[in-house]
Structure 1
Amino acid sequence: MLLLLLLASAFLLLPWAGAGRIIGGWEAKPHSRPYMAYLSIRNVSRMHWCGGFLIRPDAVLSAAHCVPVNITVTLGAHNISKNERSQQKFHVDHWVIHPNYSKKTLENDIMLLKLKPRAKLTKEVSYILLPSHKERVGPGTTCEVAGWGRTSQTKNKTSVLMEVNLKVQSNEECEKYFKSSYDHQSMVCVGDADCKKSTWKGDSGGPLVCNGKAHGIVSYGRKSCIFPKVFTRVLYFEPWIRKELRKFALQDLPDSTSSD
């Protein structure tokens, strides 16, 4: 009977359900990652959460598959179950999903959220830099991922920010499992080959931090295994990000028409 229940629940998982919990990690030092954003998302049928990261006082980057409908962004949090004095909360009315995002293949899994008012920069709230064209990461690079996602493949939840170190893998490693849905130009293959550490449900949208910069966004993985994982490659989308940020700035001009 238990086996049947497990099989039934597996079929109910969304395509990205294996992408986002921190497994095999540890609690982050409080506020050591001031760029981290907690996204509380409500749609018609349920409430869920994702990660994100501040790249400018008025902009948070996350994954398109988080499907925002009614979304609240919390910055400056460590224990998300507490009303910490460091926290800043924003109800987001305006977001931009990449026009070529595919729900089926999760290609172009990237989204920008506009914060209004702008975040107040403090020691607990600050933005993270994006990589330049000379900073593309290769296989073997050790990077960091953090999030408030589940801490096991069952139902273990965490209220505090967790973190873990993961290595960039060869593109062939992800091509082996994901075939043609993996695009080495717009995606990064990441994981722990020993299958002891990973992201999982709830960490989606969080940053892959390599050498102090945000190189990736937690996107998707295999439903039945924690290795490997696919991250959206931030560097590939840098032109699109810059274009949308310029639009954000134009919307704030006194004579412009804002969609907020």
Structure 2
Amino acid sequence: MLLLLLISSAFVLPWAGAGRIIGGKVVKRHSRPYMAYLDIKVSNETGTFHSSCGGFLICPDAVLSAAHCVPEEGRVEVTVILGAHNKNLREWNQQRIPVSDWVIHHKYSSVGFRNDIVLLKLEKKAKINKNVKLISLPSNDEGVTAGTTCSVAGWGLTSLDGHPSNVLREVELKVQNDRTCKQLFGNYQPESMICVGDGNSAKLTYKGDSGGPLVCNQKAHGIVSHGDKLCIFPEVFTRISYFEPWIQDHLRSWALQELPASPSSQ
């Protein structure tokens, strides 16, 4: 299953604890070249803690993930690992790139995990090759309908009392009608969230890889966000199409910052 951010007991998160893909399978090596593994280090007055999340490459120097993956307190260092199949090995095709900056949505709230999205800027551009590639995003008016079968990949626990999977695994999930999540989650917002997964399939991303992409029709339509501790079906994903203008605005801003200064500004 998928691995949710677990920094310490001081942080209360959805599905708090390590997670797993249930009912999933190991993917073919490097068949999901957009996947990113986020290695997160947090230092504060009580010590240093390590955690991890999923993410996905949308530009050579930009990765999308869930806002709750990046703590807003303490000294935070994030390293993105691209091109990984076995995250515990130093595979020759892996690219380990520090994150130089990130922006959490200004309306993100840990209450109900509203606007659960973060854009991370890499210290240098990734080398795009057969093992590291970008994934497309939907346009602002492009939705995904109930009944659509999508996939979610990550490195997480494969049993309740097991250990995180060393290799990338994936599960297929169906998009549900919004009213299913409205009944369960009081803070569910259809315009910015997607309801995913049902009990009939016995498949889910439980406590799993927060920040990973929900891939539908070869596009990243959602971001693993949160679920209910008592009722594991369905789950809530951040709806990327709603945030597409916000994503593009920040990508343009970063690109302008990298332009050489004009003579008149020197």
**Same fold, TM exceeding 0.5?**
yes
Q: How far apart, CA to CA, are the structure 2 residues paired with 1:176 and 1:154?
A: 30
Give the counterpart letter for 2:14 in structure 1.
Answer: W
| Paired residues for 1:32-43 under 5 Å | 32-43=31-42
Equivalent of residue 14 in structure 1, options 12, 15, 18: 12
Q: CA deviation at 1:18?
A: 5.7
- Residue aligning to 1:212: 218
Equivalent of residue 55 in structure 1, options 54, 58, 72: 58
Contact 1:18 / 1:222 at 8 angstroms: preserved in 2? Answer: no
Q: CA deviation at 1:23?
A: 1.4
Consecutive unaligned residues in structure 2, runs of 5 or more: 1-8
Q: CA deviation at 1:67?
A: 1.5
- Residue aligning to 1:75: 82
Equivalent of residue 188 in structure 1, options 174, 194, 197: 194
1:127 aligns with 2:134: yes
Identity over aligned pairs, percent: 58
Q: How far apart, CA to CA, are the structure 2 residues paired with 1:203 and 1:102?
A: 19
- Residue aligning to 2:67: 64
* More helix as a share of residues: 1
Equivalent of residue 232 in structure 2, options 214, 226, 231: 226
Q: How far apart, CA to CA, are the structure 2 residues paired with 1:141 and 1:152?
A: 27
The superposition leaves residues 93-120 of structure 1 with CA deviations (integer Å, 9 ceiling, x where unpaired) of 2001000000122100000000121000
1:116 aligns with 2:123: yes
The superposition leaves residues 153-199 of structure 1 with CA deviations (integer Å, 9 ceiling, x where unpaired) of 334310100001000001111111112x1000000000132262111
Contact 1:218 / 1:231 at 8 angstroms: preserved in 2? Answer: yes
The superposition leaves residues 188-218 of structure 1 with CA deviations (integer Å, 9 ceiling, x where unpaired) of 0001322621113341000000000000000
Q: CA deviation at 1:152?
A: 2.9
Q: 1:124 to 1:219 in 2, by over 3 A?
A: same
Displaced runs of 4 or more, over 6 A: none
Contact 1:73 / 1:89 at 8 angstroms: preserved in 2? Answer: yes
- Residue aligning to 1:152: 159
TM-score under structure 1 length normalisation: 0.89
Range 83-92 or range 126-135, more displaced: 126-135
2:40 is paired with a residue whose SS is strand
Consecutive unaligned residues in structure 1, runs of 5 or more: 1-10
* More strand as a share of residues: 2
1:198 aligns with 2:201: no
